[in-house]
Amino acid sequence: MDRIITSSRDRTSLLSTHKVLRNTYFMLSLTLAFSAITATASTVLMLPSPGLILTLVGMYGLMFLTYKTADKPVGILSAFAFTGFLGYILGPILNAYLSAGMGDVIGMALGGTALVFCCCSAYVLTTRKDMSFLGGMLMAGIVIVLVGMLANIFLQLPALHLAISAVFILISSGAILY
């Protein structure tokens, strides 16, 4: 007996989902670019670190502002203020790495992050697979990494540090897919 099974999905729902994803990734790319620009400016101008108190007040204050204005047009400005502030406080950290002769670490981290994010995003958007099955494994992986980090505080093993970094990259990639 031949059975024909058909499946349909509302086209407007699918287009709406793709539009939301496209807009989300576009906003993410703009805020990351703005953060990179402010980090570069902070690095080039050799701006000082704002200090612990101002950093915490600025970060949590701007996070709160972004959350409270999320549904308003000014929410976009607060999101850019938040990512710009994060870029500003990143400048002195980047200067510390550059002065230690470790500029290649910055470039590798930036390039690796961009490559992994783009590849994982492109994979999910082109295959349209449901990756919700990754949730449990991601949580287990996060717990394993945290335990490994705590162990390495006491053990100080370079190989364990490398392994933790590699596992964290895998978990972050899974989170993008999820």
55 in a structural domain: yes
37 in a structural domain: yes
174 in a structural domain: no
The pLDDT assigned to 59 comes to: 96
Q: What pTM was computed for the model?
A: 0.66
Q: How far apart are CA 34 and CA 167, in angstroms?
A: 29
Average the pLDDT over 1-26 and give the result: 64
Domain hosting 67: range is: 11-102
CA-CA-CA-CA torsion for 90, 91, 95, 96, nearest 10 degrees?
-30
125 in a structural domain: no
152 in a structural domain: no
79 in a structural domain: yes
Rounded percentage of the chain residues whose pLDDT exceeds 90: 37
Q: Is residue 27 very low, low, confident or very high in pLDDT (cuts 50, 70, 90)?
A: confident
| Single-letter amino acid code for the residue at 53 | I
97-137 pLDDT, tens digit per residue, is 889 888 777 777 777 777 888 888 788 778 878 888 888 88
82 in a structural domain: yes
Domains in the chain: how many in total? 1
